[in-house]
Structure 1
């Protein structure tokens, strides 16, 4: 779906939530293959059985990729991603956990490099089936203004 939303139209506090996605064994294997991260924390059941977690934990980068991917449902031709800040892996994610993403417009500011645009900061929370935040970060967008600042 495509919806054009300009900088002025973003409202602080607006929230949206995604549908859920259950993490699988296949996710672990495919992500390890893509990244080369075959550390035993993710791939060795026996190694992790002796750990404080008692089982393998998901790659943080995988949780980030899936959590952000769940939010990619609307194309805004007036905006593009400027990146992510303040990324934290708050709690472990395990095979069988179901995650979804909550996104909240946190703040807006002028873009010092682009007078015809502003920056929108979106709080991103990836949440498990127990309503625990497992990952948090901030997504920054560059968004066109309806009218350029004078």
Structure 2
């Protein structure tokens, strides 16, 4: 879905919510293979039984990647991802947990050098099936101002 939204149209406090996505053992195995992160917390079920959580947990980077994908359902041709800040892994996600994402417009500010764009900060909260926050970060968007020509990089 394509939806043009200019900087001025973003409203502080506005929220959007994704549907849910269940994290599977296959997700964890595939992510380990793609990243090379075979840490026993993710891969060794027997070892994990001896640890405080008692079971394997998903990679934080897997949960971040899945959450980013879950929020990318609407294409805004006036905005580009400018990066992520303040990411924290709050609680573990286990095989069989279902996550969803709540996105809230947190802040808008002028870009320090680019007058045709502003920066919009989205607070992304990843929640599990018990409504516990498992990951939090801020997604920065570089968004064109209405009627402004985009400046070359």
Alignment of 1:1-150 (within 5 A): 1-148=1-148
CA distance in 1, matches of 2:76, 2:128: 27
**Residue 81 of structure 2: SS of its match in structure 1?**
strand
TM-score (norm. length: structure 2): 0.96
Normalising to structure 1: TM-score of the pair?
A: 0.97
Per the TM alignment, residue 147 of structure 1 is displaced from its structure 2 partner at its CA by 3.5
How many residue pairs are counted as aligned between the two chains?
A: 148
Q: Distance in 2 between matches of 1:60 and 1:113?
A: 33
Query: Helix, strand or coil for the counterpart of 1:142?
Result: strand
In structure 1, the gaps of 5 or more residues are: none
> Distance between the aligned counterparts of 1:131 and 1:48, measured in 2?
24
Report how far residue 68 of structure 1 moved: 1.1
Cα RMSD between the aligned structures? Answer: 0.6
CA distance, structure 2, for counterparts of residue 139 and residue 126 of structure 1:
13
Which secondary structure does the structure 2 equivalent of 1:106 belong to?
strand
Structure 2 unmatched ranges of 5 or more: 149-153
Q: Secondary structure at the match of 2:93?
A: coil
Which secondary structure does the structure 1 equivalent of 2:67 belong to?
helix
Distance 1:138 1:88 in 2: 10
Instruction: Extract structure 1 runs of 4+ deviating beyond 3 A.
Output: none
Q: Equivalent residue of 2:29, what SS?
A: helix
